[in-house]
């Protein structure tokens, strides 16, 4: 079974199957086959096991031996193949994370918070994003599962039927993020998007506004921002409960909402109600776009129009006037999720409740 130098030992028939169709391993770097543990062991004149120990538990290797292995490893630029290793250890070292988008700094913050916790424990985040598409999320779940992650983190409580089935049968901890599922698949760390809508409405109403508008994205069969919708719906309900009009609650376009959503939204609202007094955008991004449009139209904030958003994106505090918003500590959300996941993997359990609420808070600033 020796098959070191040259290709001795390999069946010569291999030549047959070379119809340039499929890319073969050697296609690109003929001279450069990746070094294996066997190459190292031979160079260092030790067994493969000793090389393995050198990486997993160096103390078990005699210093002199260790040094020889180190030399060989360095000479060959050897990096152990984790995929091969995990086959035996049954630990992939992957934590899967499926987000709606990467282009949202709040979600990026979650990834950052998670990484902080996972890095020292040598887990690697396997990040995927669904572009707010339910079918794409399902595809991502399957892709992730194929990599045997030790835990899987998804966004929200709404998934495709098959996606849910896959998650339930995953056999590893599952965490749903940024929501408070009434019936979590396994665990959840999030906040109430309905609370966000209520807090926003309460704030605007308490300021005495009557003609209150709102801006959100629409939805297609496949693309939905469930959490944004929840914020909008609860906002609308709160308006209704207060006996206020709800015909200024706008949904249009595809998620995620953009600056342009906010700018265009203002135009629509103003046409519908010139005496518009306040607007809640389900994302700071739309709120900022709207504020810029106000500027173009010489509408002074908050004197002529009160504006608030959601997310407390970096730009919110920097705006002039600074944007009132409903904030969530996404960094912390990521860290808590990381801690939970690590507990779940190592202890198989955690003191945390099945559903953890990190809460939301009104961040009152100059735009209202």
18: contact with DNA by CB under 7 A? yes
Site string for DNA, 285-304 (x = CB under 7 A): --------------------
H or E stretch at 126: strand 124-129
Stretch in the footprint of DNA (CB under 7 A) among 56-64, 114-122, 173-181, 265-273? 56-64
By DSSP bridging, strand 187-190 and strand 278-281 are unpaired
Smallest CA-to-CA distance from 155 within 117, 122, 197, 114 is with 114
Determine the interface stretch with its own copies among 58-66, 163-171, 191-199, 216-224 (rule: CB under 8 A).
163-171
Sheet holding 212-216, edge to edge: 249-251, 212-216, 278-281, 306-310, 324-327, 361-363
Taking the complex as a whole, how short is the minimal distance between the CB of residue 152 and DNA, in angstroms?
Answer: 17
Residue 16 interacts with its own copies (CB under 8 A): yes or no? no
Q: How far is the CB of 347 from its own copies (least distance, A)?
A: 8
As a three-state string, the secondary structure of 219-261 is: CCCCECCHHHHHHHHHHHHHHHHCCCCCCCEEECCCCCCCHHH
* Min CB(308)–its own copies separation in Å: 18
Count of residues of this chain found to bind DNA when the rule CB under 7 A is applied: 45
Q: Cα separation of 54 and 67, whole Å?
A: 10
Decide if residue 192 touches DNA (CB under 7 A). Answer: no
Contact characters 328-357, its own copies, x per CB under 8 A: ----------------xxxxx---------
Q: How far apart are the C-alpha atoms of 135 and 163, rounded to whole Å? A: 9
> Binds 271, which of DNA, its own copies, none (CB < 5 to 8 A, cut-off by type)?
none
Helices (H), 77-148: 82-89, 105-119, 134-145
Least separation in angstroms between CB 84 and its own copies: 6
| Burial class for 80, CB neighbours closer than 10 Å (0-12, 13-18, 19+) | middle
Query: CB 112 → its own copies: shortest distance, Å?
Result: 7
Stretch of 29-37, 92-100, 117-125, 200-208 lying at the interface with DNA (CB under 7 A) = 29-37
How far is Cα 190 from Cα 359, in angstroms, rounded to an integer? 8
Q: Which stretch binds its own copies (CB under 8 A): 18-26, 56-64, 193-201, 208-216?
A: 18-26
Q: Quick one: which of 15, 90, 161, 303 contacts its own copies (CB under 8 A)? A: 90
Rg (CA), the chain: 27
Number of other residues whose CB lies within 10 A of the CB of residue 111: 17
Of 36-44, 108-116, 131-139, 277-285, the window that binds DNA (rule: CB under 7 A) is: 36-44
* Residue 295 CB partners (closer than 8 Å, separation 6+): none
CA 203-207-211 angle, to 5 degrees, is 95
Query: Which does residue 29 bind out of DNA, its own copies, none, counting CB within 5 to 8 angstroms by kind?
Result: its own copies
Give the separation between CA 69 and CA 32, rounded to whole angstroms. Answer: 21
Three-state SS at 176: strand
Instruction: Say if CB 248 and CB 281 are below 8 A apart.
Output: no
- Decide if residue 71 touches DNA (CB under 7 A): no
Cα distances from 252 to residues 42, 117, 118, 278, 326, in angstroms, run: 65, 38, 38, 19, 22
Q: Is 12 in the site for DNA (CB under 7 A)?
A: yes
Interface map 84-103 toward DNA (x if CB under 7 A): xx-xxxx-------------
Choices 28-36, 42-50, 188-196, 207-215; region in contact with its own copies by CB under 8 A: 28-36
Residues that bind its own copies (CB under 8 A): 1, 23-25, 27-29, 32-34, 77, 79-84, 86-87, 90-92, 101-103, 105, 108-109, 111-112, 115, 124-129, 142-143, 145-148, 165-166, 169, 171-173, 258-260, 263, 288-289, 292, 295-296, 314-315, 318-320, 344-348
Task: Give the binding site for DNA (CB under 7 A).
Answer: 1, 3-4, 6-7, 9, 11-19, 33-34, 36-38, 45-53, 55-56, 60-62, 64-66, 80-81, 84-85, 87-90
């Amino acid at each position: 079974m020796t098959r070191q130098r040259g290709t001795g030992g390999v069946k010569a028939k291999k030549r047959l199957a070379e119809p340039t169709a499929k890319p073969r391993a050697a296609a690109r770097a003929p001279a450069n086959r990746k070094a294996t543990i066997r190459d190292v062991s031979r160079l260092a004149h030790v067994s493969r096991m000793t090389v393995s120990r050198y990486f997993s538990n160096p103390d078990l290797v005699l210093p002199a031996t260790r040094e020889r292995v180190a030399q060989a490893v360095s000479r060959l630029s050897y990096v152990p193949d984790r995929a091969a290793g995990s086959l035996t250890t049954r630990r992939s070292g992957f934590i899967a994370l499926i987000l709606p988008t990467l282009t949202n700094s709040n979600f990026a913050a979650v990834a950052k918070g998670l990484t902080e916790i996972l890095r020292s424990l040598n887990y690697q985040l396997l990040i995927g994003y669904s572009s707010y598409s339910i079918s794409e999320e399902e595809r991502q779940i399957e892709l992730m599962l194929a990599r045997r992650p030790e835990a899987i983190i998804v966004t929200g409580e709404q998934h495709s039927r098959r996606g849910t089935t896959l998650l339930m049968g995953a056999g590893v901890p599952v965490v749903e993020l940024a929501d408070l599922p009434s019936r979590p698949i396994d665990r959840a760390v999030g906040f109430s998007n309905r609370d966000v809508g209520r807090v926003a409405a309460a704030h605007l109403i308490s300021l005495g506004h009557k003609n209150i508008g709102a801006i959100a994205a629409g939805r297609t069969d496949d693309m939905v921002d469930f959490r944004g919708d929840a914020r909008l719906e609860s906002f609308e309900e709160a308006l209704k409960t207060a006996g206020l009009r709800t015909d200024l609650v706008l949904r249009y376009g595809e998620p995620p909402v953009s600056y342009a959503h906010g700018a265009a939204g203002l135009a629509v609202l103003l046409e519908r109600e010139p005496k518009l007094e306040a607007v809640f955008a389900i994302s700071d991004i739309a709120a900022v776009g709207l504020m810029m449009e106000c500027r173009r139209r010489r509408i002074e904030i908050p004197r002529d129009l009160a504006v608030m958003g959601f997310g407390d994106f970096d730009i919110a505090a920097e705006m002039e006037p600074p944007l009132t918003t409903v904030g969530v500590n996404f960094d912390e959300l990521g860290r808590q999720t990381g801690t939970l996941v690590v507990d779940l993997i190592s202890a198989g359990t955690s003191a945390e409740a099945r559903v953890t609420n990190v809460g939301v808070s009104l961040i009152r600033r100059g735009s209202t």
